[in-house]
Every structure is written in structure tokens, then in C-alpha cells.
Structure 1
Amino acid sequence: MSSTESPEAAVLTTAPVPPSGARAGDGETVREVTLPGLTLTLRSRTGTGGDPAVFVHGLGGSSTNWSALMRLLDDRLACEAVDLPGFGYSPPPDDGDYSVSGHARAVLRLLEADGRGPVHLFGNSLGGAVATKIAAARPDLVRTLTLVSPALPEIPPQRSALPTGLFGLPGIPALVARATRDWDAQRRTRELVALCYGQPDEVSEADFAEHAGEYERRLALPYFWDALSRSTRGVVDAYTLGGQQSLWRQAERVLAPTLLVYGRQDRLVSFRMAARASRAFRDSRLLALTDSGHVAMMEHPVLVARAVRELLDDTAYDGTAYTDGGPK
């Protein structure tokens, strides 16, 4: 996944203003970075923090999924969340590659082009698989790793995750689009919240309205279904890889101190995978949240931020590598 392009050659343009229609939350800035064949939208929150941190969302998500957590960490970290190609406000990649490796290359190219490594790397779901691949392939670019319900192979998957996996099959997205064409944004959002949140009834009216508005905007994009279905297929394909390409094998190669966050109410990534992940990542710690679903950084940002701070406090940086300075 490494790139031979120099930072100067890789970054063509960086827009200091948000792309059309993109809104920056309180204390945030939004910018575009254009690379050859790729344009990424980035949501930043610098606060008073120092070390750079990059946040990668999950399947169907966007950079806004990390806003609540970044707000709680910006005194310690210079936070920047990326919209993966085809999601949020990032357009599709020119090569149409929505595989896990394709998304990982996009984030890696961003890290190399901006020259901001090593970073504290965060990933949720699909973003967790992406972050794992990057940390395994380029340990020089990752200081610590925080994974929230990472999409690591679970075979067989739990039953509640099967419909999502089937979405990656040819023809299924078109069937779903036809079957749900009369659904309004509120109904679509209710279904999504019920799938992703452990306690969906606790989502505030303001957050629900924001989710619904974003869902409606993205549904109107001509590439919405294509990006979602191809990225889903990419996750399914990654689950089937063996040997050195296996995500579990790559997890074993990660050197960075790792925080694993799992929710007991997760309907997409089974909580039983937490034990296997704890064994696979050689320098790991686990935060298990009883009432959380698939997006703990949105459901319980205070608890996740506290665990991240403990990881930062317990990990000493000597200028070349992080070493664990506290108990696991």
C-alpha cells in the first residue's frame, strides 16, 4: 500500500473552504484535499491539542460520526476525520475501487501527502478494518490505534448482520432501492438507528433530525447505492481472504498500542469477537460497553474519550516509537 509519490507531487489542491453544501460543526473546519484520481473531504478540530489524529468512519457513515468524540479530545489531539471515497462529501474515486484495500490506500495516500505521520489512528467498523491494514503495513505512520467495533472477519456472522452482508451481492441493492422507494427519510433513519445503536430510543430528536437530513442528502447522490454496495462487497471479500492477506493475520502484525471498543448490544459486529481481537492485537486493551451498539463513539463518547485518554497517558513516546508505560 505504500506510495512512491512525494508529498509535493501528491497534493494538487487543498481547498480552505468546505465543499458545496458541507457544514462545519461548532469548532470544526472542513476542507478538501485533491490527490491524483482522488478527492477527500476532511473535518478538523484542532483545539489546543498537539499530536495529530486521524479518524476513519464505517460503512455508510461519514466524518461527522466522529464529531462528538473529537470535541472531547481536541485538548490532547489535533483531530481530523476523513470522508472515505464515495461517502460524506467525498466523491467516488476515479478507479472505482471500494475494497478495504482501496479505502486503506486512500487514507494512506492522505497521510503520506500531508506528511502528518505518525498519527493516532481511529477506525469504526469498515474504518476499523482500514485502520488495521494501515497499522500493519506502515507501523511508522501509526502511534496508537483505537478500533470501535472493527469489521474483522466473523464466520459465521451473527444473524442480525446477514442482511447487511447480502447487500454486497449483485442485484440486491437494486431490489432494496425499489422496495424502499416510498420510504421517507424518517423511516430510513429509524431503521438505520435501530441497526447501529444499542439504545435507539435514547437518540435525541436533534441528532435524529440531523441523521435524517444527511441520509436524505446522500440518497439523492447518483453514486449512493454503488458506493454502499461496492464497499459492502469489499468487506465481504476481505472476510474470505486467507494467508498473509487475512485481516486477523494483519492484526497480529500491528505494533501500535491498541484500544479495542466493543458494545454488548452490537447487531453488526458480535461482542464475542472482542476476546479474539484482544488476543490478536499484541499490545491491546479492551473497553466493553454494556449498553452500546455498533457506534460507541456516538453513543457513549465520554466513556470512549476517557479510555483514549488513559491510552495516551499510559503510553510514552520516545520520539521514535511508543512503549507501554502502564498495565494492560
Structure 2
Amino acid sequence: MRWPEDAADWPLTEHSRRVLHRPHRWHVQEAGRGPTLLLIHGAGGATHSWRGLFPLLSERFHVVAVDLPGHGFTQPGARGRSGLESMTADLAALAAAEGWHPAAVIGHSAGAAIALNLGLRLGDPAPRIVTLNAALSNFEGVAGWLFPKLAKLLAATPFTADLFSAAASSQSNVARLIAGTGSQLDPEGLALYRRLVADRAHVDGTLAMMSQWSLDGLLPRLGEMSAPVFLMTGDADSAVPPAVSRRAAEKLPNARLESLPSLGHLMHEEDPEAVARLIFGFLEGIEGGPDCAAPQ
């Protein structure tokens, strides 16, 4: 996505800024006062996915949302740093440089894996973690061998992103892609995803993340997570089955699991009010922490 041209009418653009912290030029949205909440979107998403939840959370907290490297308006400085471990390290370094000390990290889908990995990395006290339809399962069998190799091939092939954007960015195809997640979005939400799918750089960043993705270093360490973890699932999610979060909850020492009926993979976009209520309940007791104001 082009900055600042495409940002003029992007959701919550009044809270946007760009931060150069090597190796990436990050797009950050920041608002509110109080303990810090860090929001991490999933693969193929961007800060737009928090457009309904961000304003609700920022009424009580200092909220920071970032575009992952290669996604949305974050310009990657090193294409080889799009895997789980690299992105976790780069986000931790960005947070330290900006003076963010998250009281909680909220991650959606693949962003949930980053949130958990970040929770293991950050110091004492560790932040609470909220996951939304957490993608915490490696592909199994032949798919586990084939999918990463296919993603690497696509990411390395010239013009792949252009071809995908051209093929997938029609209004009807985007609607089918979203419906395939079990979610129902309004016309504004569909239009925003269409803009992302039509953007070559964003698609290329998504392919880079897919090609480098591995949970092998995270899944065996879930039992080390000392902080409370709240796993939320949408019963209608057809992208990441709720059973994935149930299995993860069994491995986490201090886990709470809650399902929301009739919501799909993009549950926080479908019903941000319901998601916010549950998050506020989980975070009760930390709102009295030190104030932190968003930059003017």
C-alpha cells in the first residue's frame, strides 16, 4: 500500500504514523491513555481489521496497532524477516524503542501465535494474552510438507503477487474469500479487503510470511506461559477450527476459553462490541496502571 496516498481514507488514519525502526518502516496506529494494549493482526490482514475494536478499547487503554512487515503500510526492510521468530523479535525491539510496555497483547489468527511468542519473550511481568481464533496448528501429513514448499515457490516466483491480485481482487472473489472464513462482513469491510488483495506489495508480504511460517519453536513452549491467556473462538470459524484453541488451552497453565456463537474467523470485525466486553472482563484489574498517552 502506498503511503501516504492510500492512507488518506484508511480506517482510523487520524491515529496513524510511520516509525522507522530497522529493518522495517512500520505503520502504527496509537490512541488512548492507560496501560498499553498491543494489537497484532493475522496473515493477509492489516490495522483495518481493528477498526471497530480499536476505538472501544482506547476508551479505557492506551492502544497500539501495527501492520506486520510487508502488510498494509509497513514497508519491509528485510524480506527474510517475515517468519514467526523474526517478526516477534522485530516487534519486541520496536516496542522497546517506542517505550511500549504492553499490559496485554491481543492477536488474531496467526497474530495470536506472535502474541504468545511475544509474551514468552517480554520481561517480568509478562503481559496477559488474548487470542482471537488462534492459528496454533501446523499442517499435518503431506500438507505439512507441501504447503510451506508451495508458499516458498510462490513467494520466489516473479509476478506471482501480480497474478494473484489480478485473479482474486474482483468484488465477487473477495466476497467468496471472506465467506469462506465463516464471517459475514458489511460492504465497507469487503471493500477494504478488496483493496488489500488488489495491492501487489501486500500480497507479496503475505506470501513471504506464509513461506517462512513455522510454529515448531512455539508449540512445545506453551506450557512455559506464566501469564493468563484468554482464547476466544467463533463457533462459525471455517478457517481455523475452534478445536485448535481448545487443544492449546489444555497446554497452557493459566488459560480461559470462550466461544462466541454465530461468529466466524473475523469475529472482531463482525461484532467488536461483544469481543470488547469479553476483553474488558479479562483485563479487569489492570486499568489502574500508569498512564501512557498517545503521541500528539
- What letter is aligned with 1:39? R
Alignment of 1:2-81 (within 5 A): 19-23=4-8, 25=11, 28-46=14-32, 49-81=33-65
Q: How does 1:1-328 map to 2 (within 5 A)?
A: 19-23=4-8, 25=11, 28-46=14-32, 49-94=33-78, 96-140=80-124, 142-156=126-140, 168-171=151-154, 178=163, 181-196=166-181, 198-200=182-184, 203-216=185-198, 218-219=199-200, 221=201, 224-235=202-213, 238-239=214-215, 241=216, 245=217, 247-313=218-284
Q: Tell me the distance in 2 between the aligned counterparts of 1:156 and 1:255.
A: 28
Q: Cα gap change, 1:163/1:57 in structure 2, threshold over 3 Å: closer, same or farther? A: farther
Secondary structure in 1 matching 2:171: helix
Q: Counterpart of 2:210 in structure 1: which amino acid? A: T
Q: Are the aligned partners of 1:149 and 1:269 in contact in 2 as well (CA < 8 Å)?
A: yes
Unaligned runs of 5+ residues in structure 1 are 1-17, 320-328
- Could you say what secondary structure the match of 1:153 adopts? coil
1:57–1:65: 8 Å Cα contact kept in structure 2?
Answer: yes
Give the 3 Å change call, closer, same or farther, for CA 136–188 of structure 1 in structure 2: same
SS at match of 2:253: coil
Deviation per residue, 1:60-112 (Å, 9 max, x gap): 00011112111111121111100011001011233532111111112111111
Q: Identity across aligned pairs (percent)?
A: 22
C-alpha deviation, 1:207, in angstroms:
2.4
Give the C-alpha shift of residue 292 in structure 1: 1.8
Partners of 1:26 and 1:94 lie apart in 2 by: 27
| TM-score normalised by L of structure 1 | 0.76
Q: 1:51 to 1:156 in 2, by over 3 A?
A: same
SS in 2 for 1:309: helix
Residue 133 of structure 1 aligns to a residue whose secondary structure is helix
User: Are residues 315 and 193 of structure 1, via their aligned partners in 2, closer, same or farther at CA, if it must alter by over 3 Å?
Assistant: same
- Which runs of 5 or more structure 2 residues have no equivalent in the other structure? 291-296
Instruction: Provide the rounded CA distance (Å) in 1 between the counterparts of 2:49 and 2:36.
Output: 18
How far apart, CA to CA, are the structure 2 residues paired with 1:199 and 1:97?
30
One-letter identity of the residue aligned with 1:206: E
Note the alpha carbon deviations across 1:38-72, whole angstroms, 9 max, x for none: 211001232xx411111011000001111211111
Preserved CA contact (<8 Å) 1:117 1:141: no
Structure with bigger RCO (C-alpha 8 Å, 6+ apart): 2
One-letter amino acid of the counterpart of residue 191, structure 1: R
Paired residue total: 284
2:85 aligned partner, one-letter code = S
- Sort the Cα spacing of 1:230 and 1:211 in 2 relative to 1 into closer, same or farther, 3 A: closer
Distance 1:36 1:179 in 2: 29
RMSD across aligned C-alpha pairs, in angstroms?
3.0
- Contact 2:23-2:76 within 8 A present in 1 as well: no
Secondary structure of the equivalent of 1:272?
Answer: helix
Contact preservation (8 Å) 2:34, 2:289: no
Letter in 1 for 2:224: R
Deviation at 1:183, TM superposition (A): 5.0
Q: What is the TM-score of this pair, normalised by structure 2?
A: 0.84
Counterpart CA distance in 1 for 2:288 and 2:226 is: 14
Q: Quick one: structure 1 residues 74 and 184, their matched pair in 2 at CA, closer, same or farther if it must change by over 3 Å?
A: closer
Indicate conservation of the 8 Å contact 1:167/1:173, yes or no: no
Partner AA of 2:94 in structure 1: L
Letter in 1 for 2:187: E
